[in-house]
Amino acid sequence: MKKIICILVIIVSCYGCKKDNNEIIDFKIGTFYGEKTIYYLDTHYESVDTITIKFDSTIYAYSGSDVLDFGRGNYLIKDNSIEFNDEEARVALYTWDWIITGIYRFRTIDDSIIFNQNSSDIQISCRLKKITK
């Protein structure tokens, strides 16, 4: 009887330690290309820009089709979010909404990533497809 209980405890322990199939684990570094959409809730104005973003192990760099849309810094993926810490020095002559910075909800689908950020007056979303490894 003690052997059966020990075997059951081991089985339950192994099941509890089973690695979850988390989307974030599937994220691979590389270069991604796609659209960044900014939607202003108060004016219902939408701005769409194409961007290219390169992820290395902890560093990212991106540029967009608009000359003001660029940045680089470090990032951290945690649970279902990604946090960007932009390190570019800028002159505040334009809106800060262009800059990818802060915490975004994050998910992967096959070779694509989607991240978005919502606030009381603005929604930012990016849908990007991997173009290089």
| Tens digit of each residue's pLDDT (9 = 90 or more) over 84-131 | 998 886 665 556 677 888 899 999 988 999 999 998 889 999 999 999
Fold of 22-132: Lipocalin (2.40.128)
pTM: 0.75
Of the chain, the end-to-end C-alpha distance in Å amounts to 54
Q: Calculate the alpha carbon distances from 125 to 47, 84, 108 in Å.
A: 11, 14, 14
Domain spans, the chain: 22-132
